Structure 1
Amino acid sequence: MFKAEPFVTRIAFVASDRPEAQEARANLASRYGDAARDEAQVIVALGGDGFMLETLHAQIESRTPIYGMNWGTLGFLMNEYSEEGLLERINAAERTVVHPLRMVAADVHGGVHRGLAFNEVSLLRQTRQTAKLRISIDGKVRLSELSCDGALVSTPAGSTAYNLSAHGPIIPLDAQVLALTPISAFRPRRWRGALLRHMAKVKFEILEAEKRPVSAVADNFEVRDVLEVHVSEDRDLALTMLFDAGRSLEERVLAEQFSS
């Protein structure tokens, strides 16, 4: 039997450090009230896409749905800002569930670091010299040596971000695939990346790690001088993002493929 979502009345507002976002937060809190985060039914995030990612990470434990409104430079993951009819917009919003990537990175000093990424895990050269990577998928070496500026694994939700800038494919949210995309590949020059099933386990080995140091970044968490990086989707973690009716994230990803 279908169970309706409860009507949202308790909202917690969070905002980026920008003065305009902080002012908007104060105005909205005065108008709609400002619930404690642990009591809120929805978190309203005021900022840009970077702040939306920060808010997603902050809500991993509570998993409270997040409704973003744009007060930043980019707003692909955000709704348009308006103080009018906020409760009606939230209660009519379309829901998108996102799963993060889990990164486990070992560095040259013996340290092991863990991070989560809702957009992508990227490997980047740290010096003027190209990085050299060996890439394995599900335990099998698929590319014995990639000379490049780096490489990344992107979620569908993140496929229109850094992945697209690196000429990776835009992925529909329900496609259940990940994008493996090289960044400025030098050899093999014609390799353009691969689409992987969403349960694939990706392993990067850094060749000549001391001579050609590489960093690994999971969203905004960076590890320097990595030796080996493992990336896989974490299906046990699921967060909900809310988008205005008719402007769902699925619609935005589709429309992006036809933008000039």
Structure 2
Amino acid sequence: MTGEKRLALTASPTPAAQAAEAELRKRYEWVALDKADIIVALGGDGFLLQTLHTMLERHRAVPVFGMNLGTVGFLMNEYSADLLENRLTHAKSIRVSPLRMEATTVSGERIESPAINEVSLLRETRQTAWIEVKVDGRVVLPELVCDGVLVASPAGSTAYNFSVQGPILPLDSSLVALTPISPFRPRRWRGAILPDRTRISFRILDPIKRPVSAVADQREVRDVATVEISVDRGSPLTLLFDPEHALDDRIAREQFTF
């Protein structure tokens, strides 16, 4: 089995993914997630992120091969039930390091959460957010007035970051994107590209009148007072792709998509 590799299968609850799971379970041999050498995930990008977060929670760096049965599927391979073991044998591996969010709420609660795509700070009410921005302990923006701000990894730079005019980062660039969301002041600031060794800190300047939430991929922490973000090199993840659909190639091509 794929050079003696043990395979586990997981699927999103959508009808299409469930039907594909039933088909694949009939055709191949599978083991439980905690015994697998490779995980095959059926669904969309959101379900793939959920699967990767499950691996982080279990402290297991198991490669994941996603097959698209969702909407966009930017991080996924095409779905096919045929020749799966051959595809896995020839798959190209891409290693990504997640972001690490450390948030402190107004009430003093401290919450840590990983993010594979991005960490976003978002205003909770109609009032704009007022946010102080620090880079490696130095204040670079005393007052960013905006709907929000985000930090994106290279793997996530084509997602929310790109939709708010952020830059696309090559996967091997060792960079992160710091991108404002609907900035009002400073009017001409459009973000920054920073080395991934940088520690980025945010302080909410008026958290009671202008509350802000922090979202690490799919996990939201409301009413934050401060947020610190860094790259967690100690928890690398591995994605598997068909050679003709490698993520680094997709990201490069996305820069020329209109």
TM-score, normalising length: structure 1: 0.96
> Which one-letter code corresponds to 2:36 in the other structure?
A
Q: How does 1:1-260 map to 2 (within 5 A)?
A: 7=3, 9-60=5-56, 61-260=59-258
The aligned amino acid for 2:71 is T
Runs of 4 or more, structure 1, over 3 Å off, are none
Give the AA of the match of 1:71.
Answer: L
Deviation at 1:246, TM superposition (A): 2.1
- 1:3 is matched with none
Offset at residue 192 of structure 1 (A): 0.2
Question: Aligned partner of 1:38: which letter?
Answer: D
Amino acid at match of 1:43: I
CA distance in 1, matches of 2:206, 2:8: 48
Counterpart of 2:141, as a letter, is L
- The letter of the residue matching 2:77 is N
Q: The residue matched to 2:34 in structure 1 has which SS?
A: coil
Write the deviation string for residues 230-255 of structure 1: whole angstroms up to 9, x where unpaired.
Answer: 00000001110000012110000001
Given the superposition, is the C-alpha separation of residues 8 and 44 from structure 1 closer, same or farther in structure 2, using an over 3 Å criterion?
Answer: farther
CA–CA separation in structure 2 for the residues paired with 1:251 and 1:135 = 33
Q: Aligned to 1:190, what secondary structure does the other structure show?
A: coil
CA shift for structure 1 position 8: 5.1
Q: Deviations over 1:68-92 (max 9, x none)?
A: 0001112000000001111101110
Confirm or deny: 8 A CA contact 1:8 1:87 kept in the other structure.
no
Instruction: Please give the alpha-carbon distance, in whole angstroms, between the structure 1 residues aligned to 2:243 and 2:191.
Output: 34
Q: Look up the equivalent residue of 2:3 and give its one-letter code.
A: F
Task: Encode CA deviations 1:20-58: one digit per residue, 9 max, x unaligned.
Answer: 101101110110122111222210000000001000011
Unaligned runs of 5+ in 2: none
What is the aligned-residue RMSD (CA, Å)? 0.9
Identity %: 55
Mapped to 1, the partners of 2:224 and 2:5 lie a distance apart of 46
Q: What are structure 1's unaligned runs of at least 5 residues?
A: 1-5
Instruction: Evaluate the alpha carbon distance shift between residue 41 and residue 187 of structure 1 in structure 2; reply closer, same or farther with a 3 A threshold.
Output: same
Taking the aligned partners of 2:117 and 2:4, their CA distance within structure 1 comes to 28
